[in-house]
Structures are given as C-alpha cells and as structure tokens.
Amino acid sequence: MGLRFEIVAEDPATGARAGLLHTPHGTVETPVFMPVGTAGTVKGMTQAQLEELGVQILLANTYHLYLRPGHEIIRELGGLHRFMGWPHPILTDSGGFQVMSLKSLGRVTEDGVWFKSHLDGSSHFLSPERAVEVQLALGADIIMMLDECVEYPSSHEALHRAVKLTGRWAARAKEKLSALSSQPSASQPALFGIVQGGIDKDLRRQSAEGLLELDFEGYALGGLSVGEPKAEMYDVTEYTVRLLPRQRPRYLMGVGTPEDLVECVARGIDMFDCVLPTRNARNGCVFTSQGKVIIKNTKYARDESPLDPACECPVCARYSRSYIRHLLVAGEMLGAILTTQHNLHFYIDRMRKIRQSLMFGAFAEFHSRVRAEP
C-alpha cells in the first residue's frame, strides 16, 4: 500500500484533526487544500511558484488529460509527475464529474458513461474499470473511483439510484485496481471511495456503509457544494464524516470558500479541492482578510495599497491594487498570474494556520476568530 495516514493532533471539542499523509511522492500535511491543475497545470502558475507558495499536493483532471494530450502519451513519458515537472504528490479525479457536468453526457448505463469530447465531439466511454486504467496511466498517488454525480436538487429516486450505482461501481473499481496492481511492474496508487446521497442522510449512510465494506484507503464526500444551502452542506458533511473510520483520510470534493475550509475541518475533513481561488483570480476577484475584493472596480484605479494589507504573499509585497487592476483591464497575463498567486497564498496560508492551531491546541480560538471575520 502506497498511502499511510497518521493523525498527529485532534481537537477534542470538534472532529478536527491534523495529520500526515505519506504518499510515494512525499508527505502531505493535512488538513490540506489541493489547487486544481485541470490540464496538468494550475492556470497561470509555474511549478516553482506553486512550490514557493507551499503547495503540497495538486489535483489534476482525468477527463481533460485523457482527451488531451491523452493518458497513453503521459504514461509513455513516465507519468504525470514527470510530464508536469511536479515531483510532489498528485491526486486525479475519475473524470466522472466533468463528464456529467460539462453537458457532454450521452447516457449513464449500468456499465459506465458515454460522453462526447468538448474538444472535437468524438464519442468516448468511461466505466469504473476504465477510470482506474486511465488514472493508473497518469500515475497519480491518489486516484478516485468513478461515481455517479447527480445535480441538486434531485428526486429521492434519482439520488437513491446514484447511491446504488456508485456502490456497484466502487466494487468494480476496487477489483480492477487489484487485478492491475498484481502485475509486477504496476504502480500502486491509493484508491478513494466516494460517498454520494445528496443531502439525504439515510442515503449518505447507505452509501458510506457500502463503501466501508470494500475498505478504501480514503473516503471522499461527493455531490456537495452543488447548490444546496450552506447549512445543509455543513450538516451532511458532519453527519457523513461520523460514519467514516477515524484512521482514513477524508476528502470533501469541490469545496469551497475560505470559510468552508474552517467549517469543514471542524467537521473532520482532511482534504479539499476547489477552482474558486484560481477561477475567481482570473475574473479579478481576490480573497483578503477583509473579504472579497473585485479588483477591476474603478475605485481601485489609484489605490496604492496591496491587494490585502494584512497579506505576506510575494504579490502583496511588491504590487499595488492600481497596477493589478490596470493589468486585468488591459487583458495582460500578469494580472491573472498575480491574482492567482495571491488567492492560492490565501488558501494555503489559511490551511497552514488551521493546522498550526490544531497542533497548538488552539483550533477553537482560531475557529471563532474566523467566524467573526467580515
């Protein structure tokens, strides 16, 4: 087994914990935020800049890499770590979320999912087995099972069907990985199961119980942050986490805002990924200690202060709001580069502070301070 998870601190009052996730490409300190490197690159960032920011693990999208440049090319070139020049841990998703959300969906069958490429319209088929195969070719440290993602809101019937199908796909993914990993030359990534069930606690319980029987190396919560009320998301996260084994890492997929990170760590989550810091950055929305700032706003045209006066990132040390606004208005690449660097720093720094507060037994204090923020 390539993955080992070690809990190094726990908050007695909440479910929050700090851990070490040992992977074949290094150790990740949890709780951790994973920036999204869709096509094998975090948009606008060099790998050296990610290292400087303290990024410990990246998420890459199997769907995008499968279509372009193709997982076989990446396998030939020695896998994604080598291809990207990123010798640190990588997690790949299964491709299912993109397939089911990019409107490229043909149909979901018992066997898998038919979809059309957003690049050229060509038809492709993704099954639980195929998702494992493609991810093995990419060579990530942590891979995700193919699950059925349903939108919010969905009928109980649709949710129930997705939970059951996801359960059967989980077993098939597990079996495929065992079969492929028994080959002597095979790499051995950790496979995570994905709990579905929307905001229906009974379905979440059924989903979790089914996965637990298969004994995954980690468990993800899927189908959240898809439009449900925030309170529901927190509540379902808390409920679901309690069903999961203490000694396995827990990953809340596609979440979230800076506030969500703290709230969901408090509910026992160890891993997060989200496009919010990077996508918002490109749209000129930056996270600061005083809340979000829409930097293209005319009022910043003559503003000499940094994006966030309380921030210690390289962007805030060197550049003004006026300059960054100018770059974004002029459509200059550097605008998106600087806002991305800043936003990622904000997320990574928040995680670092959460973890430190856990290590020092001061999480409750940190939690209430964040809650009081604008």
Is 309 one of the binding residues for a second copy (CB under 8 A)?
A: no
Check residue 44 for interaction with a second copy (CB under 8 A): yes
CB of 48 to a second copy, least distance (A): 7
User: Binding to a second copy by residue 85, rule CB under 8 A?
Assistant: yes
| 212 makes contact with a second copy (CB under 8 A) | no
**Candidates 78-86, 136-144, 163-171, 243-251; binding stretch for a second copy (CB under 8 A):** 78-86
Stretch that binds a second copy, among 23-31, 249-257, 322-330, 354-362 (CB under 8 A): 322-330
**Of 141, 260, 270, 273, which residue is the catalytic one?**
273
Site for a second copy contains 78 (CB under 8 A) = yes
The least CB distance from residue 345 to a second copy, in Å, is 14
**Which is nearer to a second copy, 203 or 324 (by Cβ)?**
324
By CB under 8 A, the residues from 22 to 41 that bind a second copy are 39-41
Active site residue 93: yes
Among 131, 194, 327, 354, which residue sits at the site for a second copy (rule: CB under 8 A)?
A: 327
User: The dihedral of CA 118, 124, 125, 128: what is its sign?
Assistant: negative
Largest Cα–Cα distance of the chain, in whole Å?
63
Among 117, 181, 257, 322, binds a second copy (CB under 8 A): 322
Q: Tell me, yes or no, if 303 is annotated catalytic.
A: no
Q: How far is the CB of 77 from a second copy (least distance, A)?
A: 6
Contact 41, 230 (CB under 8 A): no
| Residue nearer to a second copy on the CB measure, 271 or 316 | 316
Q: Is 362 in the site for a second copy (CB under 8 A)?
A: no
How many residues bind a second copy (CB under 8 A)? The answer is: 37
Measured from the CB atom, is 161 or 326 closer to a second copy? 326
Closest approach, Cβ 118 to a second copy, in A, equals 12
**In the set 299, 330, 372, 374, which binds a second copy (CB under 8 A)?**
330
93, 141, 147, 308: the active-site residue = 93
Instruction: State how far Cα 269 lies from the chain centre.
Output: 12
Among 108, 142, 328, 338, binds a second copy (CB under 8 A): 338
Angle at 21 between CA 52 and CA 75, to 5 degrees: 75
The CA distance from 301 to 220, in Å, is 43
Q: Is 73 in the site for a second copy (CB under 8 A)?
A: yes
Task: Draw the binding track, 247-286, toward a second copy (x: CB under 8 A; -: no contact).
Answer: ----------------------------------------
Give the residue from 71, 67, 116, 86 showing the smallest Cα distance to 26.
86
Confirm or reject binding of residue 296 to a second copy (CB under 8 A). Answer: no
Length of the chain (residues): 374
Q: Which residues are designated catalytic?
A: 93, 273
- Which residues sit at the interface with a second copy, rule CB under 8 A? 39-41, 43-48, 68-69, 73, 76-78, 83-85, 301-302, 304, 314, 318-320, 322-323, 326-327, 329-330, 332-334, 336-338
